Amino acid sequence: MKRNNQGFSCYVVMVCLAVIGAGIDGSATASWTFTEINWSPGGSGDDDSIYQIAWRPQGDYALIAAGDGIFRYNHDTGTLEYLDLGSRNARGVQWSQAGDYALITNIGQLYRYDHAATGFGPITTITDIQASGTVTFYEVVFSPDVGNPQAYITANRAGTSSSHQLTLFRYDPLGSPQVYADYSGGTTYAMSSAFGGISAAFQADGDYIVLSNKVANGYNEGIFVYDPDQSTFPKEAAGNMQWFSRTSYLGNACAVTMGRAPGQRFVLVKGNGYTQRTTQAGVPASFVNWDQPGPSPHMSLYSGDADYSYDGMMGIVVERDTSNPYHRIGTFDGVGDAVAGVDLIGLPIQRSISLLAVAWHPSTHTGLIGGQDRWLILFMYTGPTATPSATPTMTSTPTVPPITPVATDTPFPSVPATSGTGIGLMALIIGTAAATLPARRHHRS
């Protein structure tokens, strides 16, 4: 059995960050409060990391994928409940648009969690899966388009000849098969090495999905773009998703996120080099202009996560620096410019463990950060707010007939891997600004 969250020490730390980026209405300061909720490492052999956090769209609670179990964090009461999954594991979790169910992923397994007003709802193993080869599931994304609430599951698909592809699967709870590969937006070149640590984010209007791959197989320093109807990012002639590289700056792409405000079309990618930004240009579109929004903290760890607030105003990336026990957070405003970076050296308790997950609340400027040893932190942003505008380089998406995916699998293509799209690099300016104040304390292929 897992240890519960009772009996843990309680601390509160307030960290005030100087806002030095554009887009937050010109005010001088903003404050962040970090409150520890839980730290309860498991026993020998336990998988006790928090891998992903997903708030129910209604905001009443969050589900937290924590290896051998799942947590439920209740927003109004601040209470934390834990459910041991027994022989099952949870590496990823995401809610449907309606909040009636969530999908949980764990390597080759998929589970459906049905909402319950209190406690934990039923968890059902999804077995009606059509796939050739061996499939490893990673992040789930639901389309933000209310008229098309589709669920996509990112995966590495391994063939019998040691070929690997990053493939998106569709979940149709009323169909048969319920889960099947959807090639309407393309797949990737067949590689001899697997894709892994896959992160994904939908464009705010549901236009396309951006994906990153953490494993060093030649496609780990950049992003793929999956466009279901190909109206903005058409597939390549061979049927592959378009690839846009950022070599020598990302290292390994650990997490990708996009602003949530309608019209926003910029991407933040958290690597184990730096956090990088790119903005959609043109239609048919491309991501060819990259920069490093400064002051961006150096991100040296092969882990971490990124997320944007519900209003697209503020992004946050998290990790633990490998060279010391400090925990590093970078914040970005509603147009993707860095606001501040800080090492949380003021925490009264330092844990030399990684931060692996972050998720903003769907309607407030609060959220949760999670990491190893089931470490869970509540964060709160207090300060000026602004309504982000659409990305300046945004262009209208032409209307094209939608592509209806067919639930049939296809063999692996024999297309050789290429070096991808060449990218011009821009000059970089790096800086950080932070001040820490003591206070009291309590808290993604």
| CB half-sphere exposure, 392, CA atoms < 13 A | 2
Question: In which band, very low, low, confident or very high, does the pLDDT at 389 lie, cut at 50, 70 and 90?
Answer: low
Query: Tens digits of per-residue pLDDT, 134-171?
Result: 999 999 999 998 777 889 999 999 987 789 999 999 99
pLDDT of residue 392: 45
Which among 123, 52, 117 has a CA at the least distance from the CA of 85? 123
Q: Is the pLDDT of residue 21 over 70?
A: no
Which one-letter amino acid corresponds to residue 184? S
- How long a stretch of residues is the chain? 445
- Cα-flanking dihedrals φ and ψ of residue 21, to 5°? -100, 170
pLDDT of residue 45: 75
Ordered alpha helix ranges (H), 41-91: none
pLDDT of residue 43: 75
267 Cβ contact list (under 8 Å, min separation 6): 201, 210, 223, 256, 257, 258, 277, 278, 279, 287
- Ranking 288-292, 304-308, 337-341, 438-442 by mean pLDDT, the lowest is 438-442
- Ranking 202-216, 372-386, 395-409 by mean pLDDT, the lowest is 395-409
Q: What is the DSSP string of 17-85?
A: EE--SSSSTT-SEEEEEEEEEE-----TT------EEEE-TTSSEEEEEEBTEEEEEETTT--EEEEE-
pLDDT of residue 5: 38
Whole-model pTM?
0.84
Q: Are 292 and 276 in contact (CB under 8 A)?
A: yes
pLDDT of residue 307: 94
Domain residue extents for the chain: 12-441
Q: Per-residue pLDDT averaged across 236-256, rounded? A: 92
Specify the fold of 12-441: Methylamine Dehydrogenase; Chain H (2.130.10)
DSSP state of 335: T
- Ranking 116-125, 134-143, 262-271, 330-339 by mean pLDDT, the lowest is 330-339
Question: Tokens at residue 405, please?
Answer: 């995916």
